[in-house]
């Protein structure tokens, strides 16, 4: 990449593909810094589209829409990995600075490519993917090594929040699960004995500067992130250093510009496994909005505007609680209530973020609360209190 482009300064338009909550928080960060934002999303009712200066309501591959975006925006990024690589390439060929570039995004679109990449990276960092086997043909089922069972069958594409995954105990169940996925390309992963899960959020600038945020410890419920806590309570300092060094090496290796999240498993044996990468700000990095000098969304702005990166320092221990649409429903399943926001807002150290989604649904991410504390225990106690008050 030629190193001669000037930064894009406030007053200019920045473009984002995707208008969900990540696009919305990006838009808010960009606007706070004086930028204008253009959002492209096929959904007419998108959380980011409703607050952006310019909303283009069109498909990601709509050439006219991409031309409009490229003519308005000097720089474009994406809020999710499943944007067609072609759209990013097209924007680049139309003269926009695209960060991250399409090759980095496609790597995260396909678990087969992702695992292959993570495996090659192991020799450098000593952190590799879980043992796995690619399933693309009928015959592959018989060749799955016995020691990968029990395992988790994951579709190569379009999996998120635990969707596109089935746990299988034996070859018979594996075969049935693959049929259930209509025999699309899949990866069978050995079911690992997890001690806990963490993620690292790395940012790389146009000039090759890399910063990494403090590692967060993540708890999932039903495959969806529930809480992220920083500093990670169970992580040893040397494990955190190893993860941070690995994240730096990886982001440089793929020549990535922007915010990149890497999920890791820490096994009962102490071994660290790289699970998956997300080429964008991540739910487990929402804590940075209130607990760090620069949020992950400000970093996304800085990276795509070719500015120096912000400081990632943690200002206070924090525990982030996700707010799912489930909170709007009574146990009977009928939509019956507005969550008790007054109780959340009564905590002076809890920061409420709602994404402006009109319709709550079970499992839908509606917002989050960052619970800060003078100590880690205080932050976790506030998080537990907020969870029980809303529950
Ligand atoms: P998603 O794209 O849905 O986030 P992940 O691969 O991250 O998919 O899996 C979701 C969750 O399922 C993980 O955070 C972890 O809790 C659990 N999980 C996934 N793979 C394994 C595995 N190989 N062994 C044990 N648990 C796993
Ligand atoms: Mg995941």
Q: Is 220 in the pocket of ligand 1 (CB under 6 A)?
A: yes
Q: Does some domain include residue 46?
A: yes
Cα–Cα distance, 169 to 160 (Å, whole number): 22
Q: Residues 44, 135: one domain?
A: no
Q: Does some domain include residue 352?
A: yes
The radius of gyration computed from the CA coordinates of the chain, to the nearest angstrom, equals 21
Token pair recorded at residue 235: 């992580």
Task: Kindly tell me the sign of the dihedral angle through the C-alpha atoms of 86, 92, 95, 97.
Answer: positive
Q: Does some domain include residue 108?
A: no
Q: Residues 181, 265: one domain?
A: no
Q: Is 114 in the pocket of ligand 1 (CB under 6 A)?
A: no
Token pair recorded at residue 66: 């991409």
Task: Kindly tell me the sign of the dihedral angle through the C-alpha atoms of 148, 149, 153, 154.
Answer: negative
- pLDDT for position 303: 98
10-residue mean pLDDT profile of the chain (391 residues): values are: 79 98 98 98 96 98 98 97 94 97 94 93 89 96 96 91 90 96 96 97 97 98 96 97 96 96 97 96 98 98 98 98 94 77 97 96 96 98 97 85
Q: Whose CA is nearest to atom 9 of ligand 1?
A: 162
- pLDDT for position 3: 53
Of the residues 43, 77, 98, which one is the last residue of a structural domain? 98
Q: Which of 152, 198, 224, 283 to mutate to test ligand 1, by most ligand atoms within 8 A of the CB atom? A: 152
Q: Residues 245, 361: one domain?
A: yes
Question: How far does residue 264's CA lie from ligand 2's centre (Å)?
Answer: 9
Determine phi and psi for 175, rounding to 5 degrees.
-65, -45
Q: Does some domain include residue 204?
A: yes
Q: Is 81 in the pocket of ligand 1 (CB under 6 A)?
A: no
Q: Residue 137 belongs to what domain range?
A: 131-190
Q: Which of 211, 210, 202, 3 is nearest to 97 (CA)?
A: 3
Question: How far does residue 351's CA lie from ligand 1's centre (Å)?
Answer: 28
Protein residues placing their CB within 5 Å of the ion ligand 2: 263
164 alpha carbon, closest ligand: 1
CB 167 within 8 A of CB 191: yes
**Interface ipTM:** 0.98
Cα–Cα distance, 113 to 206 (Å, whole number): 25
Q: Residues 241, 152: one domain?
A: no
Q: Residues 239, 342: one domain?
A: yes
36-40 and 13-17 strand pairing: parallel
Neighbour count for residue 258 (Cβ, 10 Å): 26
Q: Which of 357, 370, 281 is nearest to 325 (CA)?
A: 357
pTM of the predicted protein model? 0.95
Q: Residues 138, 230: one domain?
A: no
226 labeled binding residue: no
Q: Does some domain include residue 7?
A: no
Of the residues 153, 170, 190, which one is the last residue of a structural domain? 190
Q: Does some domain include residue 289?
A: yes
Q: Does some domain include residue 103?
A: no
Q: Is 298 in the pocket of ligand 1 (CB under 6 A)?
A: no
Q: Does some domain include residue 323?
A: yes
Cα–Cα distance, 158 to 185 (Å, whole number): 11
Q: Specify the number of domains making up the chain.
A: 3
CB 26 within 8 A of CB 295: no
């Amino acid at each position: 990449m030629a190193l001669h482009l000037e930064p894009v300064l406030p007053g200019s338009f920045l473009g984002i593909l995707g208008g969900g909550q990540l696009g919305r928080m990006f838009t808010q960060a960009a606007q706070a810094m004086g930028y204008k934002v253009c959002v492209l999303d096929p959904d007419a009712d998108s959380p980011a589209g409703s607050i952006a200066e310019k909303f283009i309501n069109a498909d990601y591959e709509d050439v006219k829409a991409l031309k409009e975006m490229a003519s308005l925006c000097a720089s474009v990024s994406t809020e999710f990995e499943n944007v067609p690589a072609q759209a990013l390439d097209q924007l680049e060929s139309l003269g926009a600075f695209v960060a991250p570039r399409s090759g980095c995004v496609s790597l995260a679109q396909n678990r087969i490519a992702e695992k292959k990449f993570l495996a090659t990276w192991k020799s450098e960092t000593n952190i590799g993917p879980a043992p796995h086997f690619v399933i693309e043909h009928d015959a592959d089922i018989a060749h799955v090594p016995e020691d990968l069972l029990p395992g988790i069958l994951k579709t190569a594409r379009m999996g998120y929040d635990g969707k596109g995954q089935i746990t299988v105990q034996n070859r018979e169940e594996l075969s049935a699960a693959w049929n259930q996925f209509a025999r699309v390309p899949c990866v069978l992963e050995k079911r690992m004995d997890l001690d806990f899960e963490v993620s690292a959020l790395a940012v790389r600038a146009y000039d090759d500067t890399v910063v990494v945020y403090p590692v967060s410890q993540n708890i999932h419920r039903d495959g969806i992130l529930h809480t992220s806590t920083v500093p990670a309570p169970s992580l040893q300092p040397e494990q955190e250093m190893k993860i941070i060094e690995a994240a730096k090496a990886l982001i440089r290796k793929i020549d990535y510009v922007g915010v990149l999240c890497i999920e890791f498993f820490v096994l009962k044996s102490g071994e660290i496994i790289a699970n998956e990468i997300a080429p964008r700000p991540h739910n487990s990095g929402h804590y940075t909005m209130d607990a760090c000098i620069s949020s992950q969304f400000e970093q996304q702005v800085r990276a795509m505007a070719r500015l120096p990166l912000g400081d990632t320092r943690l200002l206070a221990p924090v525990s982030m609680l996700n707010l799912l649409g489930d909170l709007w429903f009574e146990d009977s399943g009928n939509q019956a209530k507005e969550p008790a926001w007054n109780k959340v807002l009564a905590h002076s150290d809890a920061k409420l973020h709602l994404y402006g989604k009109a319709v709550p649904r079970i499992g839908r991410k509606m917002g989050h609360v960052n619970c800060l504390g003078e100590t880690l225990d205080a932050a976790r106690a506030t998080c537990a209190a907020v969870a029980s008050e809303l529950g």
